Each structure stands twice: as structure tokens, then as C-alpha cells.
Amino acid sequence: MPYSEEAFIQSIRKCMEVARASGSERIVIGSGMKSEQQLRRLYPTLPHQAFVEYGNYIGETLKMAHELGITRVTLGIMIGKAVKLAQGHLDTHSRRVVMDKTFIAQLLREAHCPSEAIARVDNITVARELWDLLSPSEAQRFSNVVVHHCYEHCKPLLPDGELTILLLRNE
């Protein structure tokens, strides 16, 4: 069965409408099951309907939240999508955008990570390998920089709302 982007985006809209109708104080959006499991642990009192999967359509989902008058949104994101979003790609599908190692090196420099870690970026094949290059304190600084860039691209899509972005680790 062929995949329909339009149908998937419409399913996100329906889920967002149900989430709003649930009366939840916050809507929590994540890319899929792994991120949702982590997010549910962080927000255990929210109803099931408050959790919505965005797949790759972060921008579309945040625009919908604004259109629907949802004012408190948490975006859970893993590092692979986060480095794409930090660069301004609101649709993170691999058909449209690939991991940009030059941009990642720039983020690492911005986070004041060591030159050895920056030099090893060329050797990674997936973004989650970044965690192996960094000490815990370096990883925290890097995470802060990535989230800051993501926020700068996402916040304009939810101008009247509170946006929380959580960088999740692959479990």
C-alpha cells in the first residue's frame, strides 16, 4: 500500500483535534513509539490522547497546534531529527534532508566541545553516535545548543503558546 503524506498529515490533525478535545493541560508531540514511551514517563498524569505522533512533520504539527488554539506543547525529539531541525528543516524525512556533518561540527564548536570530538564527526554514520564522542558535560552543552537552535525555528510556528523542547536519548 503506498504511503500518502497528505493522509498522514490529516491523521496528525485528527489526533491534535482529539488531544485538544481531551482537555489536557498540555499536548505532547513525538516522532514515534520510542519517543512517546519516554515522554509518557515524563508526563504520567496526562491522558493518552494528549500524546500525538508527528513522524517527520514537526512544522506541520506545530502549525496545527497554533491553528487549533493549543497553547502548551512539548516537543520530544531524538538527536537524528534534532540536528536536522536545528538547521531549520521542519520536515525531517530522509528523502528531503540528510544529516549535515559540517553543521553538526558547527554546533559542537558553538558548544565549546573539544576539537578531537569535532574532528571525529566525519566518521559517524548516524547522529546518535555523537553521544559516544562526548563526555557527559560536553553532551549537555551540545544538547543545550541543539535545543536552542530547534526552538528558534519552532517557536514562530506557535507564537501564542508555550513551547518546551526535550532532546531525548535513544533507549
Q: What is the pLDDT of residues 66-113, one digit of tens each?
A: 999 999 999 999 999 999 999 999 988 777 788 999 999 999 999 999
**Cβ distance 107 to 142 under 8 Å?**
yes
Q: Is residue 111 part of a domain?
A: no
User: Which residues, at least 6 apart from 65, have a Cβ–Cβ distance to it below 8 Å?
Assistant: 16, 27, 29, 73, 157, 158, 161
CATH assignment of the domain containing 12: 3.40.50.10720
Q: Is residue 118 part of a domain?
A: no
Q: How many domains does the chain have?
A: 1
Domain that holds residue 91: 5-97+147-168
DSSP state of 162: E
Q: Is residue 15 part of a domain?
A: yes
Q: Is residue 26 part of a domain?
A: yes
Q: What is the pLDDT of residues 109-154, one digit of tens each?
A: 999 999 999 999 999 999 999 999 999 999 999 999 999 999 999 9
Q: Is residue 116 part of a domain?
A: no
Output the pLDDT for position 112: 97
**pLDDT at 171 > cutoff 70:** no
Residue of 127, 112, 17, 3 lying closest to 77 (CA atoms) = 127
Q: Looking at residues 43-61, what average pLDDT do you find?
A: 95
Q: Would you call 70 exposed, middle or buried from its count of C-beta atoms within 10 A (0-12, 13-18, 19+)?
A: buried
**pLDDT at 42 > cutoff 70:** yes
